[in-house]
Amino acid sequence: MKIPIRSLSVGASLVALATLTACVAPAPVYQTSRYPYQPVQPMAQGPYVEYGRVANIEVLRSETAGTGSSGVGAIAGGLLGGVAGNQIGKGNGRTAATVAGVVGGALLGNSIESNRNGPRAYESYRVSVQTDNGGYRAFDVPSPGDLRIGDRVRIDNGQISRF
């Protein structure tokens, strides 16, 4: 039984496209720790509430290191480009289109993979609160919201809110 070349080319194109598409999803971000460590208050004592003023708000910038390019994107892109280029022209023109498709697809696939695996920068905020009893507490939050330096705040079970 003879398998048509077009069907094989289309099938290979779909497999290569699915492989290249998998390179586009960004890596998940996991928050590993909070600074400073603040133990959880035991619930047996009931809710613990403190009051204070925002003493400082600082921006914390962090960056994850990129993993670079492994070559999978270039291979998948080259396969996809070669299959697409093979669909164009006849004879020497088809060969030239296939070679151009392989080279262009490999460059594009490598670029997509490098962008996906590149370094990422993140920002969070550290809100420092001077409590009414004279102590300081710091809270790392993704956004300070409407809090400003000097605002009166309530600390209820480790959560700060404007008071």
Cα–Cα distance between 104 and 86 in angstroms, integer?
A: 13
**Helix, strand, coil percentages, rounded to 5, for the chain:** 35, 25, 35
Whole-model pTM above 0.75? no
pLDDT value of residue 44: 44
pLDDT value of residue 152: 94
Q: What is the pLDDT of residues 95-104, one digit of tens each?
A: 888 888 888 8
Per-residue pLDDT of the chain (163 residues; tens, 9 = 90+): 555 666 667 777 777 767 766 666 555 554 444 545 455 544 444 567 889 999 999 998 888 777 777 888 888 888 888 888 888 878 888 888 888 888 888 888 888 888 888 788 888 899 999 999 888 999 988 888 889 999 999 988 888 888 8
46 to each of 49, 133, 135, 153, how far by Cα in Å? 10, 20, 21, 20
pLDDT value of residue 54: 93
